[in-house]
């Protein structure tokens, strides 16, 4: 039976081979050569995952030297074939018209029972050990995983998704495609909202919009660093950078206009336009007054919109900060008074821009 099945496979007569294997299973189901021929049939039909599983079962359960040797050869052929397919897919992705443009790859959060399969897929695609892969897989929120050419990242995205590891990639040009307007103050909030704002080229103007136009909202806190003097080892004075406060930022996404309205508590001009009047102007604590006014305005805005409010910036930024330096000339569209530039500002633009892009490309 072995010879006739092998001949059928060599002649690519897969229907005949399947019939012979079925007869063989009825006559001698425990024959070790039968299991090998099943693996070879699966391999010939392109069922690579099933063939690999069959060959591994042979290595684990069948103590037959010649069968074991051919099973190992089968696994080696599958490995070479898979490597060739991966290289072809990678080259195809790189050859795309925009394949060389800069991009970013992110892992999506996975929880519950799905984490095991997702971690195994990440380990297989990225050639990691199981523990490292599981630690790199996020449980809540996105995790920036790699930056590079979008062609390479598209290949990795497809490979990870095929391996049950949720991931997505985006061109940086697409992340920054929307116009960002820095809001100075609200001139009105009802029945139609109207803001006085500055464009990316610092032109002053006004935008009126209906609250129904706001598709989603993105909020975040950006740390404000200051240099402080502290006691170091042996009582020596040394300078350290510490977080002294946080700037509150809120983005309103207007997808139909391809625009983002960005508010920041450090830049909002409450003296020019605070239509809510949440706090009396005669308060003696100016800082406290600003914080209360901002909280009231932020809450009011979030109550007006029906879309989602994304508030997972902090854990996202903690993982994204190290990649910001690799994103050359990445904009921030923020004018915070800092002693020196901070990657946190660019991280918020990245986080908000990704949400804008995902909402735009994900079907409802």
Average pLDDT over residues 90-116: 87
Residue-level pLDDT at 202: 93
Paired tokens of 12? 């690519």
Residue 332 has pLDDT above 70, yes or no: yes
How far, in Å, CA of 254 to CA of 301, rounded?
14
Indicate which CATH number applies to the domain containing 112.
3.30.1390.10
Q: Are 190 and 337 part of one and the same domain? A: yes
Q: Are 164 and 272 part of one and the same domain? A: no
Residue 344 has pLDDT above 90, yes or no: yes
Q: Are 151 and 183 part of one and the same domain? A: no
Q: Are 15 and 106 part of one and the same domain? A: no
Q: Are 49 and 106 part of one and the same domain? A: no
Average pLDDT over residues 137-149: 94
Residues 27-65 have pLDDT tens digits of 888 888 989 999 999 989 988 889 999 999 999 988 888
Q: Are 333 and 276 part of one and the same domain? A: yes
Q: Are 164 and 52 part of one and the same domain? A: no
The whole domain housing 335 covers: 178-361
Residue-level pLDDT at 1: 79
Work out the pLDDT band at 232, boundaries 50, 70, 90: low
Average pLDDT over residues 147-153: 93
Q: What is each CA distance from 285 to 20, 53, 119, 268, 269, in whole angstroms? A: 89, 70, 51, 17, 17
Q: Are 28 and 152 part of one and the same domain? A: no
> What is the domain count for the chain?
3
How far, in Å, CA of 281 to CA of 196, rounded?
21
How far, in Å, CA of 261 to CA of 214, rounded?
10
Work out the pLDDT band at 362, boundaries 50, 70, 90: low
Indicate which CATH number applies to the domain containing 54.
1.25.40.10
Work out the pLDDT band at 114, boundaries 50, 70, 90: very high
Residue-level pLDDT at 163: 92
Q: What is each CA distance from 25 to 36, 236, 295, in whole angstroms? A: 12, 81, 73
Identify the domain boundary among 135, 157, 174. 174
Identify the domain boundary among 153, 174, 195. 174
Q: Are 136 and 277 part of one and the same domain? A: no
Paired tokens of 135? 């630690």
Identify the domain boundary among 120, 145, 174. 174
Residue 213 has pLDDT above 70, yes or no: yes
Q: Are 170 and 182 part of one and the same domain? A: no
Q: Are 49 and 138 part of one and the same domain? A: no
Q: Which residues contact 339 (CB under 8 A, 6 or more apart)?
A: 225, 226, 227
Average pLDDT over residues 247-266: 96
Which of 108-117, 233-242, 259-268, 275-284 shows the lowest per-residue confidence on average (mean pLDDT)? 275-284
Residue 317, classed as helix, strand or coil, is helix
Residue-level pLDDT at 78: 87
Q: Are 133 and 228 part of one and the same domain? A: no
Residue-level pLDDT at 229: 61
Work out the pLDDT band at 274, boundaries 50, 70, 90: confident
Residue-level pLDDT at 279: 39
């Amino acid at each position: 039976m072995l010879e006739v099945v092998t001949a059928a496979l060599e002649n690519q007569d897969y229907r005949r081979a399947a019939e012979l294997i079925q007869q063989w299973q009825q006559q001698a189901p425990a024959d070790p050569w039968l299991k090998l021929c099943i693996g070879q049939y699966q391999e010939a039909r392109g069922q690579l995952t099933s063939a690999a599983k069959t060959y591994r079962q042979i290595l684990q359960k069948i103590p037959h030297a010649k069968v074991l040797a051919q099973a190992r050869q089968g696994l080696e052929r599958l490995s070479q074939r898979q490597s060739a397919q991966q290289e072809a897919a990678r080259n195809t992705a790189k050859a795309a018209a925009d394949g060389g443009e800069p991009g970013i790859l992110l892992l999506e959060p996975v929880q519950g029972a799905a984490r095991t399969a997702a971690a195994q897929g990440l380990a297989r695609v990225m050639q990691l050990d199981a523990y490292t892969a599981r630690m790199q897989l996020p449980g809540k929120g996105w995790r920036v995983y790699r930056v590079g050419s979008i062609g390479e990242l598209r290949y990795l995205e497809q490979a990870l998704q095929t391996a049950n590891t949720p991931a997505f990639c985006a061109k940086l040009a697409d992340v920054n495609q929307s116009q960002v307007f820095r809001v100075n103050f609200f001139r009105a909030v009802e029945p139609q909202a109207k803001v006085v704002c500055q464009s990316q080229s610092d032109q002053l103007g006004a935008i009126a919009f209906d609250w129904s136009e706001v598709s989603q909202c993105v909020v975040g806190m950006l740390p404000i660093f200051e240099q402080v003097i502290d006691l170091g080892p042996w009582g020596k004075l040394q300078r350290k950078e510490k977080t002294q406060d946080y700037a509150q930022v809120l983005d309103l996404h207007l997808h139909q206009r391809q625009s983002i309205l960005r508010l920041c508590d450090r830049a909002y001009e409450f003296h020019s336009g605070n239509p809510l009047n949440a706090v009396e102007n005669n308060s003696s604590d100016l800082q406290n007054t600003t914080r209360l006014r901002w909280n009231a305005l932020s809450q009011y805005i979030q109550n007006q919109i029906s879309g989602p409010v994304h508030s997972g910036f902090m854990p996202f930024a903690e993982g994204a900060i190290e990649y910001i330096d690799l994103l050359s000339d990445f904009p921030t569209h923020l004018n915070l008074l800092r002693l020196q530039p901070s990657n946190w500002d660019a991280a918020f633009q990245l986080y908000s821009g990704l949400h804008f892009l995902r909402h735009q490309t994900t079907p409802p």
